[in-house]
Amino acid sequence: MDDIVESPATAPKKTDNSAPEVRFVLQQRHYDMALAEQIVHRTRGRHLSIEEILKRNGFRQEEEKTSTVRGKTVRRADLNMQNLRLYVPASIQTALGICLLDLKDGVLRIAVGDRFEEEELERVLVALKRGNCVVEKVEMEPWDRAELARLMREQTEVASERLIRIFATLSRDPDNGTLVEQAVHDILAEALQSRTSDIHLTLQDDDVRCWVRYRVDGDIVYKHLIPNRVMAPIVTRIKTDAKMDAADRMHPQDGRLSFEWQGRMIDIRCASLPVAPSGEKLTMRLLDRDNLRSFDELFSNAPAVSDRIRRTVHGHVKDGGLIVVSGPTGSGKSTTLYGIIQEIDRTAKAVYSVEAPVEYDMPLVDQTSVTDYSKNTIADMIRALMRHDPDIIIVGEMRDSDTVEAALRATESGHLVITTVHAVDALHVLDRMDGFLSSAYRTSGLYILGHALIGSLSQRLVKTICPACHKKVAALEVYGEEMRCQDIGVATDEVLAVADRKGCDLCNHTGFLGRTLALEALFPPEDQASRRAITEMIVSNVTNSIVDIPGTIFLPREQSIRDLIKRRVIDAHMGASLLVEELAAKAGRR
């Protein structure tokens, strides 16, 4: 391993090189890479510190005083009001009559008026705790009522209220380009503030069908109904910014644009589609790299899974291998894929990705985008990569026989392939890939699959309860009978969490805030005898028996759901329903 370097700019803590934590310590090649990049930035007039460059490239260091905001490790001193609003939205601060000023060295400063009750402070602290923001002391600063009202107005007026006024003005003056630009800006800002993953804009001749909708925590939220004369210039402006043909409403189009929000750039993937009778649909996927969950966050509750993946991506012998992440659309497969990429030491390994299209720009990864309009297919690009000395190949999705065959041949030649596929569970991944293979290649393809498979992951996203308003109830009271508690796997007196259906300001009165992974994982043993047995099972289409092979690591999704219920992460009633559905689905597939 390279020597650890200490510099005045970085000064990382000394760590035993044999410990797993060594991957967070600045190494010589990381420092050299960051130093070279720093020189380039300076020639362009930008002055970035070594720490900033390392953070931009996905490398982290240990720090004595850190907190996490939306999956991003930051110093406590950096938690200003802008970041605090991620977990304590302006609507809550306004409702309580306060303004959060900053959080430095564990001290939270709050501007308060004359009507703040200290009992309400618990709501703020609970919300901050959910973001792993360490609060050791709270300082209340009395503010003049007029000044506090001005500060609160600045917070709440950022997007939502201003949008309503802009839409009203545009209704009278739809050709006002400045207002159209402001409307687009505020739609994006409002969406990001509300944890939106996708924005849906519908343009129709009928005003009652022109909706601005957000997808929040997996659900569509109808947000703004605006006239056609207002929606049309907004859609045109977005298509123009995304380098699409704004005049063409008869053909599907794809584009991208960037948006600066809270001091960072958000990538936005746009897609337009003609819809009957004479309208257009515009969908925008918001890609915020700071919202990507780290490898440790993704697998914090599955140490056996994280250890196996980590050992694979940090391996020095090119034995080849295949890691497959499965799940339905919108289940976070790409997020998991990028989380695994962040764990790879990309200064020591050549990492390539083939995606359709590229979503997040990942530093130190050579990414190739394949769209529906490209002449080359994903399979073509995988085969081309074989001549570029890859160590690890990321394949965005395996969707046809050519792609599956090219990926399996890449593993056969000693490359690690990490990819996604649509499958209902970890075992069904094998049947799914079998179904893709052509009859001419099936036997040899399944032989490669049986020997190359390192792990199969299957995931679902489950809504998490609001930390501020949920109720704690004994299991017997939740489920009504002792037998039901035994089926769920909880003691009758165990305290579980139940969502408050009325909700609060933090969760927008839904009772739920955010989503978490319900994971299923299969990792076969690595010895050759077991691999031969697995290959025979795959060829004979009896993949369910793989979990019975000694040495197999199998984490069923029902176990993950039970764990989420017991840790009070998800609603106890919802968890029980998910458990019943999961067991019934697996029984039907046997």
- Tell me if 425 is assigned to some domain: yes
Residue type, 574: M
pLDDT of residue 46: 75
Last residue within a domain, chosen from 152, 173, 205 = 152
Identify the domain containing residue 377 by its residue range. 292-460+517-555
Same domain, 416 and 359: yes
SS3 330: coil
Q: Which of 86, 78, 69, 84 is nearest to 51 (CA)?
A: 78
Strand pairing report for 453-465 and 392-395: unpaired
Same domain, 550 and 574: no
Same domain, 486 and 383: no
pLDDT of residue 86: 62
CA distance 99 to 521: 44
Same domain, 540 and 394: yes
| Residue 408's CATH number | 3.40.50.300
- Tell me if 3 is assigned to some domain: no
pLDDT of residue 365: 92
pLDDT digits (tens, 9 = 90+) for 490-534: 999 999 999 988 887 667 788 888 888 899 999 999 888 998 999
| Residue 133's CATH number | 3.30.300
pLDDT of residue 562: 94
Same domain, 320 and 443: yes
Q: Which residues pair with 275 in a beta bridge?
A: 279
**How confident is the chain (590 residues) per 10-residue block, as mean pLDDT?**
35 38 50 80 77 71 39 40 64 76 80 73 78 79 73 59 86 91 91 88 92 91 92 96 92 91 82 92 90 82 90 85 90 88 89 88 89 81 93 92 94 93 91 91 92 93 86 92 91 92 79 89 92 90 89 92 93 93 76
Residues 6+ apart with CB under 8 A from 535: 446, 447, 449, 450, 451
Same domain, 367 and 319: yes
CA distance 249 to 281: 9
Strand pairing report for 107-112 and 137-142: parallel
Same domain, 479 and 402: no
- The count of structural domains within the chain is 5
- Tell me if 11 is assigned to some domain: no
pLDDT of residue 62: 39
Written as one string, the DSSP assignment of 534-548 is: HHHHHHTT-GGGGGG
Q: Are 351 and 341 in contact (CB under 8 A)?
A: yes
Tokens of 93: 């601060």
- Tell me if 7 is assigned to some domain: no
Last residue within a domain, chosen from 123, 152, 181 = 152
- Tell me if 428 is assigned to some domain: yes
Same domain, 93 and 125: yes
| Residue 234's CATH number | 3.30.450.90
pLDDT of residue 300: 83
CA distance 244 to 248: 9
Tokens of 11: 């000064």
Tokens of 177: 């380009």
Last residue within a domain, chosen from 132, 152, 172 = 152
- Tell me if 525 is assigned to some domain: yes
pLDDT of residue 93: 77
Same domain, 473 and 521: no
Same domain, 138 and 187: no
Same domain, 525 and 384: yes
- Tell me if 4 is assigned to some domain: no
Whether a cis peptide bond, with omega within 30° of 0, leads into 89 is no
pLDDT digits (tens, 9 = 90+) for 426-446: 999 999 999 999 999 999 999
Q: Which of 485, 565, 552, 542 is nearest to 521 (CA)?
A: 552
- Tell me if 10 is assigned to some domain: no
Residue type, 8: P
Same domain, 111 and 171: no
Q: Which of 111, 211, 226, 218 is nearest to 168 (CA)?
A: 226
pLDDT of residue 63: 39
